[in-house]
Amino acid sequence: MNVQGAIDIAAPPQKVWPFLVEPENILKWCITYQKFAYTGDKRQGPGTTFYLEEKADGPLMKLNFTVTEWEENAKFACKMTSGNFVKGYEQKMALEAIPSGSRFTFAEDIKLPFGVLGSVMGRLARSGSQAHLRVMLSKLKSLAEE
């Protein structure tokens, strides 16, 4: 299940970036996240690990991730290393400086178990996930523009 969205924010990338990488700020705009915590000693850069609890329209997901890309004020990507209820989960976020501030782009790809049944479930859940993303993007915009 692929979900994507973008929004222009009237703030420079340096002001938006903390909302992508600081746990207390992430929880302010990621409405489906119940918990976000870095694990291990590393707190930035590729190889950083974190734990996430997410509750969207289904059961509470408890997931562990590794950061695969971290470019300060520009790019953040991560991949699930273990978890429940999903077979795979990847996220990519990008910030681009534009004349009015920043363009933030978000994409996630969630792989559900159960073969063909999982594919059908993913198609059904996609519209709900897109709706959640629209709310999240709006919330991020509002917070970063304060």
- Cα–Cα distance for residue pair 12/142, rounded to 1 Å: 13
CATH code, 118: 3.30.530.20
Read off the tokens for 67: 């950061």
Q: Under 8 Å CB-to-CB from 142, ≥6 apart: which residues? A: none
**Which structural domain, as residue segments, surrounds residue 57?**
2-144
pLDDT of 103-123, one tens digit each? 999 999 988 775 555 455 555
Total tally of structural domains belonging to the chain: 1
pLDDT of 17-70, one tens digit each? 999 999 999 999 999 999 999 998 999 999 999 999 999 877 899 999 999 999
Q: CA angle, 22 as apex, 97 and 30 as ends, to 5°?
A: 80
pTM of the model: 0.89
